[in-house]
Amino acid sequence: MNQPEGYADDIVKGFLISSMVWGFASVLLGVLISLQIAFPDLNFPPYFSYGRLRPIHTNAGIFGWGIGSFMAFFFYITQRLTKTRVWSHGLARFQLWLFNIVIALAAVTLLLGMNRSKEYAELEWPVALLVVVLWVIFSVNIMMTIAKRREEQMYISLWYIVATLVGVAVLYLVNNAMIPVSLTKSYSAYAGANDANVQWWYGHNAVAMVLTTPPLAIFYYFLPKSTGVPIYSHRMGMIAFWSLIFMYLWTGAHHLLWTPVPDWVQTLAMAFSVMLIAPSWAAVFNGYFSMNGQWHQMRENYLAKFLIFGITFYGLQTLQGPSQAVRTFSAFIHYTDWVPGHVHMGTLGWVSLVLFAAIYYTVPKVYGREIYSVPLANLHFWLAVTGQLIFSITMWIAGVQQATMLNASNPDGSLHYSFMETLIELYPYWYGRALGGIIYLVSLLIFLYNIGKTIAGAPKAVAQNA
């Protein structure tokens, strides 16, 4: 379908630029804190220490880069799939400003040490309230656009968008229930094992509703647009969608295996985690089968490389995750460096590769340009994949060695290695992780340069297809 006049693409542009700024900040901080672990003298307390910078890195990455990009693409995709201009342009502009204010406030307050100590929910109550306002504005605008759509059929991407809006709202409100005691301090409304259970119900489903459903919405839209081939099976995609949404919400307690949380809760989470392999891999197969007869595009079409490698990393991630949810394996690798290797295969491999492809596709469309350099995009791809693989594989090896040493015991039952002996053996792997991060940072700089030159280039006759 041809693009009608009036799409609010200025909002898309604003969120794309904002997300790329926060994404660069996140990766830069990630490299810095990886160097701080490998070279402790690089810590400068209190403000520029690992403990202060790490939550800024995760929040800038997940919420600044991730959510910022998702907001851009939700506006872009929803308008085109509904053939409807965004419901309220003014509300969308306000949302853009509020988004950047919230991310900046998050960075400043975390740097000052205002931290609730809950993973992915560190922000103190005044900033958390602004997050709620931001998400309500966003959700209302997208939902009203869908409600007023001119296209009756709801393509699978729209279902993932709706699930994201509803899921994040429920998760954030429940886990961020707190009792303020001052402007800068609050306590959780829950206590003990209940607090842990709610936190990791939120924590793992933040992975579901922020790092899974939005990238899948983007993947299902941009794979056909980038390759010119239809998705293999919309029906399989919809079955996988409903299965994924149902199963994911029961899996959070696999972060709490071997803890005081009731055994039945742990077992339920473990079972549903393993079951998640099926709907997750349905999306992978949908992508692969869509490429039947089109695999030559992996050589010729740089966008196809990003998207197919991205969904492949998603597939690997959703095999590794359920494996880690099994009690015996969890007992071995939990609390080791295996875990950041797993996490970053998802963030740097799955999520970011799909977002890179979507940005490369969208920027020429909304700015009326052609991409500045395809060879630079290909170089970006190979450096990003190389950096990510060095990072993750290094951490997996480190985690296995660390777990083996921590679990080694003498005939009398005493530990064979001291904690310090285990720690010393990890330094070579930490150097490797920092190297992988630096390579990824270089790839990101190439990406930003390419996008910047594209935006600054002379306007060309670019077809504004949906």
Residue 277 burial (CB count, 10 A): 16
pLDDT at 461: 53
Helix (H, G, I), strand (E, B) or coil at 409: strand
φ and ψ at residue 417, rounded to 5 degrees: -115, 140
pTM recorded for the entire structure:
0.96
Give the Å distances, CA to CA, from 240 to 170, 236, 278, 351, 363.
Answer: 22, 6, 8, 19, 30
Percent of the chain beyond pLDDT 90? 97
Tens of pLDDT along 77-98? 999 999 999 999 999 999 999 9
With contact defined as beta carbons under 8 Å apart, do 66 and 215 qualify?
no
Same domain, 242 and 185: no
Q: Round to the nearest angstrom and report the end-to-end CA distance of the chain.
A: 6
Of 189, 206, 240, which one is at a domain's C-terminal end?
Answer: 189
Which residue range forms the structural domain that includes residue 152? 1-189
Of 173, 189, 205, which one is at a domain's C-terminal end?
Answer: 189
Same domain, 131 and 184: yes
Sign of CA dihedral 427, 431, 436, 441: positive
Same domain, 181 and 286: no
Tens of pLDDT along 98-140? 999 999 999 999 999 999 999 999 999 999 999 999 999 999 9
Same domain, 51 and 167: yes
Q: Is residue 451 part of a domain?
A: yes
d(CA 464, CA 244): 33
d(CA 61, CA 441): 13
Sign of CA dihedral 43, 45, 51, 57: negative
Same domain, 87 and 143: yes
Peptide bond into 180 cis (omega under 30): no
Q: Is residue 37 part of a domain?
A: yes
Q: Is residue 73 part of a domain?
A: yes
The neighbouring-strand residues paired with 186 are 180
Helix (H, G, I), strand (E, B) or coil at 343: helix
Q: Is residue 154 part of a domain?
A: yes
Same domain, 340 and 452: yes
Tens of pLDDT along 287-316? 999 999 999 999 999 999 999 999 999 999
d(CA 202, CA 226): 34
Same domain, 276 and 391: yes
d(CA 401, CA 218): 37
Length of the chain: 466
Q: Is residue 194 part of a domain?
A: no
Same domain, 248 and 358: yes
Average pLDDT value for residue range 227-233: 96
Nearest to 244 by CA among 234, 236, 233, 255: 236
Same domain, 143 and 227: no
Q: Is residue 199 part of a domain?
A: no
CATH number (domain holding residue 274) = 1.20.210.10
Of 172, 189, 206, which one is at a domain's C-terminal end?
Answer: 189
Nearest to 337 by CA among 404, 274, 417: 404
Tens of pLDDT along 9-46? 999 999 999 999 999 999 999 999 999 999 999 999 99
Same domain, 93 and 27: yes
Same domain, 302 and 352: yes
pLDDT band at 466 (very low <50, low <70, confident <90, very high): low
Average pLDDT value for residue range 236-253: 96
Same domain, 148 and 276: no
d(CA 103, CA 134): 11
Q: Is residue 290 part of a domain?
A: yes
Tens of pLDDT along 137-193? 999 999 999 999 999 999 999 999 999 999 999 999 999 999 999 999 999 999 999
Number of domains the chain is built from? 2
Q: Is residue 197 part of a domain?
A: no
Q: Which helix (H) or strand (E) holds 179?
A: strand 178-182
